[in-house]
């Protein structure tokens, strides 16, 4: 059985310590802030996440760029030349063209390296939801699952990754067309926080609206208790957009109830943070398949 590498992209928002622990490889993604170009790596080597959010708070406008075919080719080929196979778990096709671009590159690489196994999966997940799916895949790999079996496992379980998150400033969702200008103005003035999730196609959907920080935490906790499956054996992930105290509040509630095996707190990086803004709070876990 050939050895293989799990690859994903910088939208997965896992802590660098977790990425390193499981040997996951991450393709960086680009962010443009006031005409300055940065590549986002999990170790934040070019721009720290704290600095990114401070720039947004100071009024800077951020835009994201996709992984190019050349970048995919260089990254994948370097792995294949080591005699390793590839299982690439991509950012949701419902939110980006990343998956489609990778497919084009992988078709070419399969012709050049017919002896290698090269698989690409559309995660239909985003941010820490994508991270949760990749983490669980890496655990399966460490337990001895081969690449074909793991490919099938990810395809079978990807719609079980439950995404729930809230945002504090609707300006960023307005820029992305998720809410209207009037909704953004009124919602921000009244401190109304939209609750979002991902649908069956991996696209974002506004599910509900709540008011206040305590309501955010209570709502996310209720979703975990209602929708989580086999929680006692699960590692769940809390993501935050530069609001560690609120993430820790949610973590304490989950731990005090002994709901899960473990909790990871992770920072939402600039690729996702560009579209959600400071103060995002997310909770992801494995549950019933999305519909």
Delimit the domains of the chain by residue range. 4-157, 160-286
Helix-helix angle 147-157:127-142, to 10 degrees: 140
Helix-strand-coil split of the chain, %, nearest 5: 45, 25, 30
What span, in angstroms and rounded, lies between the C-alpha atoms of 5 and 196?
32
What is the reported pTM? 0.93
Looking at residue 155, what is its pLDDT? 97
Contacts of 111 (CB under 8 A, 6+ apart): none
- Tell me if 40 sits within 8 A of 32, measured CB to CB: no
Mean pLDDT (whole number) for 231-247: 97
Instruction: Decide yes or no: CATH 3.40.50.2000 for domain 160-286.
Output: no
Report how far apart, in Å, the C-alpha atoms of 192 and of each of 195, 213, 247 are.
Answer: 10, 10, 19
- Strand, helix or coil at 283? strand
Looking at residue 195, what is its pLDDT? 87
- Assign domain 4-157 to a CATH class: alpha beta
Question: C-alpha dihedral over 158, 166, 135, 16, to 10 degrees?
Answer: 150
Question: C-alpha dihedral over 13, 16, 22, 27, to 10 degrees?
Answer: 60
Mean pLDDT (whole number) for 219-223: 96
Looking at residue 183, what is its pLDDT? 54
Mean pLDDT (whole number) for 257-264: 97
């Amino acid at each position: 059985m050939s050895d293989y590498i799990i690859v994903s992209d910088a939208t997965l928002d896992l802590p660098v310590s977790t990425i390193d622990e499981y040997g996951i490889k991450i393709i960086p993604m680009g962010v443009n802030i006031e005409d300055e170009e940065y590549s986002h790596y999990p170790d934040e080597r070019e721009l720290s996440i704290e600095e990114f959010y401070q720039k947004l708070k100071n009024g800077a406008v951020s835009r994201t760029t996709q992984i190019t075919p050349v970048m995919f080719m260089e990254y994948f080929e370097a792995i294949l030349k080591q005699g390793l196979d590839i299982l690439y778990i991509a950012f949701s096709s419902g939110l980006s063209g990343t998956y489609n671009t990778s497919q084009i590159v992988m078709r070419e690489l399969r012709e050049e390296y017919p002896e290698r196994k090269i698989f690409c999966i559309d995660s239909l997940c985003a941010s820490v939801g994508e991270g949760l799916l990749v983490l669980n895949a890496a655990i399966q790999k460490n337990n001895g699952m081969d690449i074909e079996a793991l490919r099938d496992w990810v395809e079978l379980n990807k719609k079980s990754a439950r995404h729930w998150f809230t945002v504090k400033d609707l300006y960023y969702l307005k820029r992305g067309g998720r809410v209207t200008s009037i909704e953004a103005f009124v919602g921000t003035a009244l401190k109304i926080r939209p609750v979002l999730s991902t649908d069956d196609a991996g696209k974002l959907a506004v599910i509900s609206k709540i008011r206040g920080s305590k309501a955010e935490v209570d709502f996310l906790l209720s979703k975990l208790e209602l929708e989580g499956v086999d929680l006692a054996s699960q590692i769940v992930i809390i993501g935050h957009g530069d609001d560690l105290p609120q993430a820790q509040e949610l973590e304490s509630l989950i731990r005090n109830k002994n709901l899960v095996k473990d909790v990871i707190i992770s920072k939402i990086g600039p690729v996702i943070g560009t579209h959600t803004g400071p103060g995002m709070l997310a909770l992801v876990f494995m549950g019933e398949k999305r519909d």
